[in-house]
Structure 1
């Protein structure tokens, strides 16, 4: 029955790890772990997805059953982190929800550049950055279509943080190389200024790389920040959380913004709870921290 379910979903059976060693009790343990560690709610419909994501880790660990593997996870914090990361969704693409970048370019960028020109620090955070497409798009928009101006901007006190729970996503973002076809959504002038195409791949240039710091970070854990941010993008992350976790995260994000700073969230996400007292809606899923 489990084999048929996996095949019906188009998911791969993992050689050496039979789905027969994966029980309902195992799935409930997995669901509890990922909810506790990352706030992600795994519905019953995700049972076989969890198998296909975790079976390779099971085999790599040399375990014969999911029960044995989960016992080991409970004793190994690093393995628990890898397990949770394997269950996160890292689907994204360049220029996703383009109206956010248009708002940033027209309404936010001019003020940030004025701050940068006077020597003030500009801080940007892509929270849940996945494989980097979001932060690279945003930084290309920030530097702009005028290369000379962009290089002057890049020389100012601008730093962007890109964080994600999954180490493989962070590694992809640091690598900064993507299929050229995937970058076609970015305006040509920006690609020409800040990227280099090599065959079927395109990579971001050093001027862009120098502005971004990639870090592994659990949004539900401690945030080791000394500064607040001018802009936070946290998009299509909270859709996997329960209501209480969403409200708690948005409250923390709002408090991490400077007065007048902007928060961008996903198209199906909304601000509610205590954070509503700190944020004004200024565009579709765009919020401004009250002064």
Structure 2
């Protein structure tokens, strides 16, 4: 397909067709991926690319349907976010009725709903009580899901015992066993324009779908979800999508360190969850730290960006140092248990601005060869203006863990301040390589709170996310 046909204006029109048909809105950086979808769609219809494009822009029903088939199938795999699956039965069982009705919305090629059925069976739920409805806008994806055949990439996170019980060899692939397949019903459904296909649900899984919808569609879809869930019913979204549910009256409950959202039962008043309080308090601490120590402001802005994996959290407002302000006592966001280890107490001391205490505790933790301890020592050194000492501390962290993405990213900032652009660029490339293969919502190891997707965005050329030297 020639470049003259697929200029930016044409691609915007193509994206508008996709948005109208199924609500999908791509980030600007992903718009060019539509070129591949167009070419494959034209091949599937046996048409010249230019002829297919004309039909698509005229909203020809067959062209639109074919284009959706090739444009919206996302990357997925079995037992993604396993903490959600392990928590499903534990959180829902006391409140569910005679049937355990679960909806996998946006199920793609079926890995998620089959994982849900396997998890419930493994938790001891009788087959007769399990009902999993799996929907997607792509008929092509649903056909693949119904086949129940998967290769190694889709199965890379399946535990050996589960694989032995619920999957069986079929040539070079593995097939979902009939016991699981009969529990899952696949149905075509468009979240953007259709009402929920079922009500009285115990749980809804809709992960890594809402982030592609515009805000007004997100609220409409979430409203549909709430109407379909029973009181006490659970909503599972990806960590990056949790902030999109703010203001809906949902209660956050712990799902093995992650978050599940619960519809309150009548008479309940949702309480502010510890996770949200911690994020809010940490943001206030960072803002106060930026006022106290002006050189720390760029790093504080970076940390605030990390606290928000998506702009909807509204915690990443750029920080401007204030002049001539009186000293402020910065309170720690939480109280550390006396039984906490040196590293936990070091982080707490650093958050409270007690840098000497943080440094002493971090050095104690470093004796146990903890990479994060050296990252904290680097932050303390940087706050004191010792940039070379900070670089040396980060290098020690990377010696212990070469794929520590936040370590490489910290070097980007340090080399930028040291006016070593070549070293900064090399560190940026190393950080991106360390992120290879990680999901956007994957939390990263380090002192700072940041996801793989947040760091990728921060490391993009000309980013304004706060990493000095990568702008």
Name the TM-score, length of structure 1 as normaliser.
0.80
Q: Secondary structure at the match of 1:126?
A: strand
Among 93, 96, 103, the residue aligned to 2:87: 103
The whole-number CA distance in structure 1 between the counterparts of 2:13 and 2:194 is 24
Q: How does 1:17-32 map to 2 (within 5 A)?
A: 17-32=1-16
Q: Does 1:235 align with 2:207?
A: yes
The whole-number CA distance in structure 2 between the counterparts of 1:130 and 1:48 is 21
* Residue of structure 2 in register with 1:135 after alignment: 113
Larger relative contact order (CA 8 Å, sep ≥ 6): 1
* Residue of structure 2 in register with 1:82 after alignment: 66
Distance 1:76 1:58, change over 3 A: same
Among 240, 261, 268, the residue aligned to 1:287: 261
Among 112, 125, 139, the residue aligned to 2:103: 125
* Residue of structure 2 in register with 1:3 after alignment: none
- Cα RMSD (Å) of the superposition? 2.5
User: How many pairs are equivalent?
Assistant: 261
Q: Secondary structure at the match of 1:123?
A: strand
Q: Secondary structure at the match of 2:141?
A: helix
Residues 82-135 of structure 1: CA distance to partner in whole angstroms, max 9, x if unpaired? 2133221411111111211121143234655xx4xxxx2331100011111111
**For the Cα contact (< 8 Å) 1:41–1:242, is it kept in 2?**
yes
**For the Cα contact (< 8 Å) 2:38–2:53, is it kept in 1?**
no
Q: Secondary structure at the match of 1:268?
A: helix
The whole-number CA distance in structure 1 between the counterparts of 2:113 and 2:207 is 11
Q: Secondary structure at the match of 2:239?
A: coil
Among 246, 252, 261, the residue aligned to 2:218: 246
**For the Cα contact (< 8 Å) 1:90–1:169, is it kept in 2?**
no
The whole-number CA distance in structure 2 between the counterparts of 1:181 and 1:45 is 25
Distance 1:39 1:285, change over 3 A: farther
* Larger mean Cα displacement after TM superposition, 156-165 or 36-45: 36-45
* Larger mean Cα displacement after TM superposition, 235-244 or 40-49: 40-49
Q: Secondary structure at the match of 2:66?
A: helix
Structure with greater Cα Rg: 2
* Residue of structure 2 in register with 1:4 after alignment: none
* Larger mean Cα displacement after TM superposition, 171-180 or 70-79: 70-79
**For the Cα contact (< 8 Å) 1:61–1:69, is it kept in 2?**
no
Shift of 1:43: 3.8
Distance 1:61 1:256, change over 3 A: same
Q: Secondary structure at the match of 1:258?
A: strand
The whole-number CA distance in structure 2 between the counterparts of 1:272 and 1:201 is 37
Shift of 1:274: 8.0
Distance 1:181 1:263, change over 3 A: same
* Residue of structure 2 in register with 1:14 after alignment: none
Q: Secondary structure at the match of 2:155?
A: helix
**For the Cα contact (< 8 Å) 1:269–1:285, is it kept in 2?**
no
Among 43, 51, 56, the residue aligned to 2:40: 56
Shift of 1:72: 4.9
Residues 12-55 of structure 1: CA distance to partner in whole angstroms, max 9, x if unpaired? xxxxx333332333212111111222222234433421111112
Shift of 1:270: 2.0
**For the Cα contact (< 8 Å) 1:121–1:157, is it kept in 2?**
yes
Distance 1:216 1:61, change over 3 A: same
Q: Secondary structure at the match of 1:65?
A: helix
* Residue of structure 2 in register with 1:42 after alignment: 26
**For the Cα contact (< 8 Å) 1:195–1:204, is it kept in 2?**
yes
**For the Cα contact (< 8 Å) 2:204–2:234, is it kept in 1?**
yes
* Larger mean Cα displacement after TM superposition, 128-137 or 42-51: 42-51
**For the Cα contact (< 8 Å) 2:17–2:59, is it kept in 1?**
no
More strand by share: 1
Q: How does 1:209-224 map to 2 (within 5 A)?
A: 209-223=181-195
* Larger mean Cα displacement after TM superposition, 251-260 or 44-53: 44-53
Residues 132-177 of structure 1: CA distance to partner in whole angstroms, max 9, x if unpaired? 11111111010117xxx66xx11x1432111111222111211111
Name the TM-score, length of structure 2 as normaliser.
0.51
